[in-house]
């Protein structure tokens, strides 16, 4: 099973699991994935935790009882439960962190998504999570909304490692990289060890195809049909091209000379939503040096079983990727409208998941015996 995953790792792709639950931790499932399947990181989000806590009631029952007995409010109880799991995941991943000198072996936890449009509250929440988990291999996830950009820079300036999430557009990605560079420049001025500050930029993939394919289907032309399933990979490939441009810039060279490490592109939302497409396409068609691919276990298993892993499936395709975006515009697909809508809906989805989880937890805390 691990041969294809080993090939992916040798090609320069870090394999992260897009899932976490108390059951996965207590059963040793995560530890097994780390030991056998080249998994070197974990990402979470509010939807993942909502599913984990609602489906794994028995695993959380003891902690829920204690939280109820202490009279803990819902918000703090939720943070106690999620930070407990992420801290545990950090410990499971610590050998990978040490072996990679801090590049991999990371676990992510997201700030309260209700704060996405409040810069100061996001910074305060990131600090609190960083302090509460208290592990060097933690990533704090901050959405790439416009108001989140100064929060990203501010947190990096304080030495907090950041996973920037919900990136859909190339323009926003440029802004994220700028915030990263600014944050490290400020950290250098403050005397922080830049080698200890890490960041990834989570560029979402499959959701782009889902939205654009729906628009192409409404167009109903043969030219539109020929573009189905091509937008997301083209978008991600062009993001990698911009990442390479950043690495070639004098601004980055100065930071690298001071010990900084790149903000790696992370491919998120890599499970295939359309059954007509190969179930490994958002992994095998986005292989490039220095990227992270975070995937649910089903996608990881599919890659291990039948994924055809190339040495590089990105850098030779920049011209083709630009052509895809040109043809999409000619077909009437408004790229800016698509990506802006996806960002907004992504934040709304995480907000709704967080509120749903809060409601579920409130009911459990009122009557923990009926969890």
Residue 365, pLDDT score: 81
pLDDT band at 2 (very low <50, low <70, confident <90, very high): low
Domain that holds residue 175: 2-364
Looking at the chain, which runs of residues are DSSP E strands?
Answer: 13-17, 39-42, 106-110, 138-143, 162-167, 199-204, 264-268, 291-295
pLDDT digits (tens, 9 = 90+) for 258-268: 999 999 999 99
Could you tell me if residue 20 is inside a domain?
Answer: yes
Task: Give yes or no for residue 364 having a pLDDT over 80.
Answer: no
| Nearest of 209, 253, 202, 207 to residue 229 by alpha carbon | 209
- Give 68's pLDDT tier (boundaries 50, 70, 90): confident
Q: Tell me whether residue 295 is in a domain.
A: yes
Residue 370 lies in a domain: no
Tell me, yes or no, whether 38 lies in a domain.
Answer: yes
**Active-site position among 141, 218, 273, 364:** 141
Average pLDDT of the residues in 179-192: 98
pTM, rounded to two decimals? 0.95
How confident is the model over 203-262, as pLDDT tens digits? 999 999 999 999 999 999 999 999 999 999 999 999 999 999 999 999 999 999 999 999
pLDDT given at position 136: 98
Q: How far apart are CA 42 and CA 86, in angstroms?
A: 9
369 belongs to a structural domain = no
CA distances from 26 to 58, 95, 296 (A): 11, 18, 18
Residue 156 in any domain: the answer is yes
Nearest Cα residue to 369 out of 18, 31, 3, 62: 62
CATH code of the domain containing 47:
3.20.20.70
Mean pLDDT of 140-144: 97
| Extended strands (E) in 170-223 | 199-204
End-to-end CA distance of the chain: 37
Q: What is the pLDDT of residues 291-328, one digit of tens each?
A: 999 999 999 999 999 999 999 999 999 999 999 999 99
Mean predicted confidence (pLDDT) in 108-121: 94
Counted domains in the chain: 1
51 assigned to active site = no
Q: What is the pLDDT of residue 163?
A: 98
Query: Would the pLDDT of 371 be above 50?
Result: no
């Amino acid at each position: 099973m691990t041969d294809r995953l080993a090939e992916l790792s040798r090609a320069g792709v870090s394999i992260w699991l897009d899932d976490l639950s108390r059951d996965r931790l207590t059963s040793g499932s995560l530890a097994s994935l780390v030991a056998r399947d080249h998994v070197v990181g974990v990402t979470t989000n509010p939807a993942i935790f909502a599913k984990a806590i609602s489906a794994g009631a028995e695993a959380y029952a003891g902690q829920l009882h204690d939280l109820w007995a202490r009279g803990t409010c819902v918000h703090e109880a939720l943070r106690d439960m999620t930070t407990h799991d992420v801290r545990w995941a950090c410990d499971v991943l610590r050998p990978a962190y040490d072996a990679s000198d801090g590049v991999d072996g990371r676990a992510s936890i997201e700030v309260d998504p209700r704060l996405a449009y409040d810069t100061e509250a996001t910074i305060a929440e990131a600090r609190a999570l960083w302090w509460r988990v208290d592990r060097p291999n933690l990533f704090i996830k901050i959405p790439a909304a416009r108001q989140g950009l100064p929060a990203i820079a501010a947190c990096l300036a304080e030495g907090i490692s950041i996973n920037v999430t919900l990136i859909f557009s190339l323009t926003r990605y440029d802004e994220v990289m700028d915030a990263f560079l600014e944050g490290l420049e400020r950290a250098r001025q403050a005397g922080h060890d830049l080698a200890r500050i890490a960041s990834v930029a989570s560029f979402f993939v499959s959701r782009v195809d889902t939205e654009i394919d729906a628009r192409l289907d409404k167009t109903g032309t043969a030219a539109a049909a020929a573009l189905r399933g091509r937008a997301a990979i083209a978008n991600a490939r062009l993001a990698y091209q911009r990442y390479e441009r950043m690495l070639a810039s004098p601004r980055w060279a100065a930071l690298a000379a001071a010990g900084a490490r790149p903000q790696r592109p992370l491919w998120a939302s890599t499970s295939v939503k359309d059954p007509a497409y190969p179930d490994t396409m958002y992994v095998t068609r986005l292989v490039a040096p220095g990227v992270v691919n975070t995937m649910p276990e089903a996608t990881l298993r599919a890659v291990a079983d039948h994924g055809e892993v190339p040495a590089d499936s990105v850098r030779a395709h920049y011209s083709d990727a630009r052509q895809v975006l040109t043809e999409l515009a000619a077909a009437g697909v408004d790229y800016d409208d698509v990506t802006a809508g996806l960002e907004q809906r992504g934040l709304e989805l995480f907000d709704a998941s967080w509120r749903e989880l809060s409601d579920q937890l409130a009911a459990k805390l009122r009557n923990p015996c009926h969890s």
